[in-house]
Chain A
Amino acid sequence: MTDMQEIDLSQDETLQSIKHLVSERALRGETMLLNMGPQHPSTHGVLRLLLELDGEIVVNCIPDIGFLHTGIEKNMEAKTYQKAEVMTDRIDYLNNMGGNLTYCLAVEKLVDLDVPPRAQGIRVILAELDRISSHLLWMGTSALDLAAMSVFLYGMREREMIMDIKELVSGARMMTTYIRPGGLWRDVPVEFESAVRNFIKVMPGRLDEYESLLTNNALFKDRTQKIGVIDTEQCIHWGITGPVMRATGRPFDIRKAEPYSGYDQYDFEIPTATSGDIYGRYLVRMDEMRQSVRIIQQALDMLPYGPVRSNNRKFVPPPRSELSTSMEAVIHHFKLWTEGFSAPKGSVTASTESPRGRLSILIEGNGGPQPQRVFYRGNSFPNLQIMPLLSKGHFVADIVGIIGSVDIVLGDCDR
C-alpha cells in the first residue's frame, strides 16, 4: 500500500486562495468549479485550467502554469555563453532553430560579432523549416483535439522529412545547437541542397491535401468559426503578436518590421484574416507555411559560397583542422572551451518571429564569461493570460479548440 503522506494536497488551490478570481455565484454554489488538470489529452503539455461552469457554459477560466518550470534562466547564469546555448533548444521545443537563432543574434549583438552571408542564408532556411515543422504539429494536434484523426498522421509525414534534413546537417533530429554565435557549427553537407529542394517540391501539393481535408469541412467550420474571438486592440493591450494578431487583420511580422539575418532580401507576404476566431488563425497558419516554402526557395537560390563562421578567433573556436598546424589556434581553442569569452557590461535584446509570435531574448553581460541575466520572452506567456477573455461564454468543448488555436508550448511559457 502506498504511503499517502507523499502526496501533497496543499498544491491544490482551495477556494480560499482563489476567492477573488471566481464570481459570486461560485461561492454560493450556483456554478461548478471543474479542474482540467495538468494531465489531459488536449492541453498540449502540462497546463491546468480551473473552469467555472454554469451547466456547460464557461463563466470564467483560470489558468495555472508552472508545471514545467525548469529554472533555465538561473541555470544559464551559471554557464558560459557557449554552453548556455544548449538550453535554448529546449525552452521552446518545437522551434529549436529559432531559439538558437535568437540567442545567437543577441550574443552577436552584445559582443559585436559579424556573421558571413552564407551562414545567414542557411540560418534562414533552417528557421523557416522549423516554422513549417511547428505549424504541421500544431495542425495535427489541434485537428486531433477536434477529432480529425487522420490529419495528425498526415502532418507527421512531412515532419519526418524535415527532421531528416536536420539530422543530415547536425546529427540530431531535434536539439541540434547547429546555429552558434558567429555563424554555424560547420558547413552543410553536399546532400543538403537536394534534400531541401526535394522537400519544397513536394510540400505545396501536400498543403493542398491538408486544406482539402479541413478548410471547407462543415464540421470543422462549425467548431471553429465565431469561437475564441479577439480583436486587434485587445491583442495590443495584452501584448500578443504572431498568428493570433494576424488573424485579427493587423499584418505585423518581425521579419518585415525589424529584419534580421538577411530577411529583407527575400520577397514574401504576410497572410492575414479578419475574423479573429479559430478559423481565421487556421487560415493564417496554413498560408504562412506556403510563404515559408517561398522563402526557402529564394534563400536556396540566392545562397552564396563562402565561409560559414566568423574569423574572429576571440569568440569563435577555430576549425579542428587548424589545430594541428597553428599554435594560436590551439590557444584560442583552449581558452574558449575552458574559460569562455567575456562579454562587455550592458544589455541587449534580440527579437525574432517564432511560429508563436514575438520571441525576444534579453542578455545582460557583466564583463565576465557568464551572463548576468538571460531573459526569454516567449509569446506563450501572454497567450495564456488571455484564456479567460477568449473562453467566456463558450461551451466546455470549445475550450479544447481554443487552446489548440492559440498554439501554446508550455516550455516557452514556463521556461
Chain B
Amino acid sequence: MNEKLQPVVSALTARPGFRSEEFRGEVTLFVPAEQIVDTCRLLRDEFHFDMLVAETAVDYWPKLEPRFHVVYLLYSFASNANLNLRAPLDGNAPHLPTIEGIYPNANWYERELWDMFGIRFDGHSDLRRILMPAEWEGHPLRKDYPLGYEEVQFSFNHKEVDSKKPYARE
C-alpha cells in the first residue's frame, strides 16, 4: 500500500460500517451508500483527493444482496495516490445520493450509470439517458439484459436467417 494512504484508511475504517481491502497494491474502501457524500467531502477537503477520475458500477446478478457496487476512482495530486471507493447497493430499484456538488465531473458519469444500470441518483440536476436513444427501454449493462446478438449465418442456416433479417428496399 502507498504510505500516503495509510492515514486516510485508518481514519475512515475507524467509522462503523466501513472496511478496507487491498488487492495487487490498490486500496478499496467499502462505504455505506448513505454516507458517500460525507465521505467524499472529507476526502476532498481534508485529505486532498481533488479529482474524481471516474465513477462506474458493477452488477453481481443473480446475487441480490448486494446487487450493485458503485465504484468511485479518486486521485490526489498532492500525494500522487489513487483510492477506490465502493458503495454496495441492493435490490432492483437502487438509488443513492449524488456527489455532483462535490465533484462537478460526476454529472455525466451518473447519467451514464442511470442509462446503463438503472441506478437513480437523488438530487441530480439532469438525470436522463446519455448513450442510448431517449426512448430506449431497459438498462443494457445489467446482467439480466441480453447481449442481443444476431445468429451467425452459416451455409446450413443461410436461408432461415436471411428470411428473418430486415433489409431496406429503396
Interface set of A (CB-CB < 8 Å, partner B)? 2, 10-11, 13, 17, 20-21, 65-66, 69, 71, 73-75, 78, 109-110, 112, 236-239, 252, 257-258, 346-349, 351, 358, 360, 362, 364, 372-373, 375, 377, 381-382, 384-385, 414
Interface size on B, residues (CB 8 A): 40
- Contact pattern, B 21-45, Cβ under 8 Å of A = 1, otherwise 0: 0011010100000000000000000
> In the complex, A351 Cα to B77 Cα: how many Å?
15
Contact B23 A347 (CB under 8 A): yes
Cβ of B133 under 8 Å from chain A: yes
Interface residues of B (CB under 8 A from A): 23-24, 26, 28, 50-54, 56, 58-60, 71, 73, 77, 80, 82, 84, 103-105, 107-109, 125-126, 128-135, 140-141, 145, 147, 170
The 9 closest A-B pairs by CB, nearest first: A239-B105, A66-B131, A346-B23, A377-B54, A69-B131, A373-B58, A375-B56, A385-B108, A238-B105
| Alpha-carbon gap, A66 to B105, bound state (A) | 18
In the bound complex, residues from chain A placing their C-beta under 8 Å from that of B133 are 11, 66
Q: Which of these, B50, B56, B132, contacts A69 with CB under 8 Å?
A: B132
Complex interface: chain A residues within 8 A of B50 (CB) = 236-237
Residues of B with C-beta under 8 A to A351: 82
Q: Are the CB atoms of B132 and A377 closer together than 8 Å?
A: no
- Pair B23/A362 contact, Cβ less than 8 Å: no
Compute how far the CA of A364 lies from the CA of B23 in the bound complex, rounded to whole angstroms.
11
- CB pair A349–B73 under 8 Å, yes or no, is yes
Report the nearest A residue to B106, measured CB to CB. A239
Q: Given A252-B77, A346-B23, A382-B108: A239 and B134 within 8 A (CB)? A: no
**Measured between C-beta atoms, what is the minimum distance from A349 to chain B in Å?**
7
Residue of A11, A110, A349, A358 near B84 (CB, 8 A) is: A349
Contact of A10 among B52, B60, B134 (CB under 8 A): B134
List, in ascending order, chain A residues with CB within 8 A of B104's CB.
Answer: 237-238
Chain A contact surface mostly: mixed
Select A349's contact among B58, B82, B105, B147, beta carbons within 8 Å: B82
> Shortest distance in angstroms between A40's beta carbon and chain B's nearest beta carbon?
19
| Chain A residues with CB under 8 A of B59 | 373
Q: How far is the CB of A245 from chain B (nearest CB, A)?
A: 10
Which residues of A sit under 8 angstroms from B23, Cβ to Cβ? 346-348
**Which residues of chain B are within 8 angstroms of A238 by Cβ–Cβ distance?**
104-105
Q: Are A237 and B58 in contact (CB under 8 A)?
A: no
A381-B77 CB under 8 A given contacts A10-B134, A17-B128: no
Report Cα–Cα, A375/B141, bound state, in Å: 11
Cβ contacts under 8 Å, B71 to chain A: 347, 362, 375
Q: Which residues in B have their C-beta under 8 angstroms from that of A360? A: 53-54, 73
Which of B26, B105, B130 contacts A65, CB < 8 Å?
B130
Choice from A78, A239, A257 contacting B52 with Cβ under 8 Å: A239
Query: Of B73, B109, B125, B134, which contacts A17 at CB under 8 A?
Result: B134
A66 CB to nearest B CB, Å: 4
In the assembly, what is the distance between CA of A346 and CA of B105, in Å?
26
Q: What distance in Å separates the Cβ of A414 from its nearest Cβ neighbour in chain B?
A: 6
A259 CB, nearest partner CB in chain B, Å: 11
